[in-house]
């Protein structure tokens, strides 16, 4: 992929995705689970561009959603509603109505009060809602605290001790068809044994509820990627564990659902940005970019690592740099002590890698900075798959005296 050539046609910063990498990661997953009774549901929150969703859809992958907006994106990307499931701890009535009106395959409830909300809406619409119950299995994943979701104190799901009451409410409502149990212990999990613990707990709970007629077990996602080049467990290892833990369930015709997102999208994406200034401040060598934390939030939010490289060739010795953006926050730092050539200078192009997941979807317009363009590169073909706002369009989003300008 010729990033420098792309900068001749597109103003930095922008996102670029490598179609070959996307296809490879989708292929890794579909190959690993071939022969198992497993369905894959791409977590749209990782990257919601319909062009990326379409690449998963073409391989028969469904969608994991958390809003009506994500369902719209998944539909636009060619995914079918029956292969969609929706999580969400506070789904709005509009989210639920939209999902049911479009025939979603499964709504995962995350609290006992939500059961009655979905039932009431389904009754008003004259439909039957397929629901799963998301369980909080109280399994702590070896990941950043902000993306661990299976602890007792996390907001997600229903505690095992509350499952009998959830079951009672569900079975009392004819508008509901209980089809699944669900869980998700966290994101960016690289220790397959963490996942084994969660899968084992969920398999045991599922067996205790099989008399209710459930036919699928949603084990969530969380498959990690190696931002630093470390050795991480991959789909083959995850598939082996799932086969082992759920062998008897699959033999009984129970379908296993998985929700990979980061694994599909992360490696394929690069945030392309340009050096605005190089600043020496005491002992710190700052490289100031035209991209900021509003474009890629993960380093500021999670202290997440992304590889950073100078795009051009340099023979200069590398020196430690603090790579920063233009946002008016001290946390607007992409990385400290990053070794970059000493001759890095204003105008140079920098690539921030593994930015395909939770990059554009978590971006904002903070400091009145418009959203970026997104480009898909497939072989020698570069296609604009989402254009950036122009300054005039961005200004048009504001209101003055209650009237859109």
Catalytic residue IDs: 328
Token pair, residue 218, equals 């949603």
Q: Where are the alpha helices (DSSP H) in 266-390?
A: 298-302
CA-closest candidate to residue 64, choices 211, 215, 271, 263: 263
Phi, psi (rounded to 5 degrees) for 391: -60, -40
Spatial distance between the Cα atoms of 379 and 365, rounded to a whole number of angstroms: 32
**Residue written as tokens 């398999």?**
203
Spatial distance between the Cα atoms of 162 and 233, rounded to a whole number of angstroms: 33
DSSP string for residues in 213-250? ---EEE----B---TTS-----HHHHHHHHHHHTHHHH
How crowded is residue 401: how many other Cβ atoms within 10 Å of its Cβ?
5
Q: What is the largest CA-CA distance in the chain?
A: 72
Spatial distance between the Cα atoms of 199 and 249, rounded to a whole number of angstroms: 12
| Secondary structure (3-state) at 172 | coil
CA-closest candidate to residue 44, choices 69, 80, 19: 69
Asked if 363 and 297 touch (Cβ cutoff 8 Å), the reply is yes
Token pair, residue 192, equals 């397959």
Token pair, residue 120, equals 């009431």
Cis peptide before 13 (omega within 30 of 0): yes
Spatial distance between the Cα atoms of 397 and 389, rounded to a whole number of angstroms: 10
Spatial distance between the Cα atoms of 286 and 336, rounded to a whole number of angstroms: 9
**Exposure of 140 in the CB half-sphere (CA atoms within 13 A):** 6
Spatial distance between the Cα atoms of 19 and 49, rounded to a whole number of angstroms: 13
DSSP 8-state class, residue 148: B
CA-closest candidate to residue 116, choices 170, 67, 66: 170
């Amino acid at each position: 992929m010729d990033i420098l050539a792309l900068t001749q046609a597109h103003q930095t910063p922008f996102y670029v995705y490598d179609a070959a990498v996307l296809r490879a990661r989708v292929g890794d997953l579909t190959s690993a689970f071939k022969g198992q009774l497993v369905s894959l549901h791409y977590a749209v929150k990782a990257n919601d561009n319909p062009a990326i969703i379409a690449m998963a859809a073409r391989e028969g992958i469904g969608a994991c959603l958390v809003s009506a907006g994500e369902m719209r994106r998944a539909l636009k990307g060619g995914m079918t509603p029956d292969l969609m499931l929706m999580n969400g701890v506070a789904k709005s009535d509009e989210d639920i109505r939209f999902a049911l009106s479009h025939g979603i395959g499964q709504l995962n409830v995350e609290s006992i009060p939500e059961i009655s909300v979905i039932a009431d809406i389904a009754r008003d619409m004259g439909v039957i809602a397929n629901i799963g119950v998301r369980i909080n299995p109280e399994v702590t994943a070896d990941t950043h605290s902000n993306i661990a979701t299976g602890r007792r104190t996390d907001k997600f799901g229903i505690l095992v001790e509350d499952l009998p009451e959830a079951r009672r409410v569900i079975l009392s409502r004819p508008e509901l068809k209980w089809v699944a149990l669900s869980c998700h212990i966290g994101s960016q999990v690289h220790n397959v044994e963490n996942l084994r613990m969660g899968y084992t707990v969920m398999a045991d709970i599922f067996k205790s509820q099989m008399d209710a007629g459930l036919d699928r077990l949603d084990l969530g996602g969380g498959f990690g990627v190696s931002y630093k080049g470390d050795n991480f467990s991959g789909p083959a290892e995850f598939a082996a564990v799932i086969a082992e833990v759920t062998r008897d369930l699959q033999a009984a015709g129970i379908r296993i659902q998985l929700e990979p997102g980061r694994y599909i999208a992360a490696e394929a994406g690069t945030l392309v940005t340009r050096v605005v200034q190089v600043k020496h401040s005491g002992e710190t060598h700052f490289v100031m970019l035209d991209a900021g934390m509003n474009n890629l939030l993960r380093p500021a939010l999670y202290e997440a690592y992304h590889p950073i490289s100078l795009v051009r060739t340099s023979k200069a010795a590398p020196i430690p740099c603090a790579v920063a953006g233009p946002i008016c926050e001290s946390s607007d730092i992409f990385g400290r002590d990053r070794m970059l050539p000493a001759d890095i200078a204003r105008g140079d192009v920098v690539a921030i890698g593994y930015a395909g997941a939770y990059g554009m979807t978590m971006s904002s317009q903070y400091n009145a900075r418009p959203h970026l363009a997104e480009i898909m590169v497939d072989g020698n073909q570069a296609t604009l798959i989402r254009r950036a706002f122009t300054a005039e369009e961005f200004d048009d989003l504001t209101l003055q005296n209650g009237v859109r300008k």
